[in-house]
Structure 1
C-alpha cells in the first residue's frame, strides 16, 4: 500500500493550494511488526517536510507586505530575494525573504519584521537548554539527534554556549532574606522586656 501525505492550505478567499509532502509505502499485512506504522526515520522526514512547506507558505504571505519608504513614503519595490537559514526543531530550513528598493530615494531595506541575526527558533533554543540542564551536553546532543530531525547545533559545545545564553536571559529570582537577619535588623526597634 502507498500513502501520499499532502498539505493543503486554504487562503483568505478560500482558495486551496495542495503540496505533496511525502509518499509512504508499507505492506498491507501485519506479519512483520517492524513495518507497522511509521518508523522513526519516516516520522522525522515527514515532520521535516511539513515544516518546510508551512514555512515556505508563511514566507510567501509575508513577502506580500511591502513597507513604505522612510525617506519619501513611496512604496518599496522588490529588489531581490535572500535565503535565511534557520534551525527549527523539525529540521534546517531556508526562508526566502525579499529585500526592498525605493526607486525615488535609492534606499534598500530588508524584509519587514524579520529579526536580524536569528539562526534558530525559540522553541529549539528552549528545548536544547532544557535537555542540557537535565543531562550532559554530549548526551543532550545525542538525544536531540535521535528524537528530532534537528540537523543544526547538535555539537556539545554549541549546546553549552546556548544553555548559558538562555540562562542569562532568564529573570533573576528575588531571594528572601533569612529570617535571622530580618529579626536582628528589627531588634533595636523592639522594646526590651527587662523585668
Structure 2
C-alpha cells in the first residue's frame, strides 16, 4: 500500500472564485515507515518551495500588469505591444516572470 500527498496553493483574489493550483505531489509506502521516509526529504522540500515561489510570483506579476493596463484617462484596457519575460533574482534563485508591455 501507499499514501499520496499533495501540496496546493489557494489563490483568493477577492472575487467569488478561489483558484486552486497543485504545487507538488509525492507518495510514501504505507506500513514500513522508516526514519528516512518521515516527512519531506530535502529534495522534495526544495522542489516544493521552488514551485511555490514560481506560482506566487507569476500570479503577483500578472496581477500587477492587469492593474496597470487600463488607460488613466478613459479606464479602457490599453493594447499590448509585446509579451516578454523578465528575470528576477530572489533568495530562492532566478525566476523568469511574464512582463506584458502596454502601448
TM-score (norm 1): 0.45
- Aligned equivalent of 1:35: 37
- Any stretches of 5+ residues in structure 2 without a counterpart? none
Runs of 4 or more consecutive aligned structure 1 residues displaced over 6 Å after TM superposition: none
Unaligned runs of 5+ in 1: 102-195
Higher relative helix content: 1
Q: Secondary structure of the equivalent of 2:58?
A: helix
Q: Which has the higher strand share?
A: 2
How many pairs align?
Answer: 98
Instruction: Tell me the secondary structure at the aligned position of residue 5 of structure 1.
Output: strand
CA RMSD, Structure 1 to Structure 2 (Å): 2.0
The one-character-per-residue Cα deviations of 1:2-57 (angstroms, maximum 9, x if unpaired) are 11111110112131111111111112246421111001111100000100100111
Q: State the secondary structure of the residue aligned to 1:34.
A: helix
Larger radius of gyration: 1
**Higher RCO structure, 1 or 2 (CA under 8 Å, sep 6+):** 2
Match of 1:21 in 2: 23
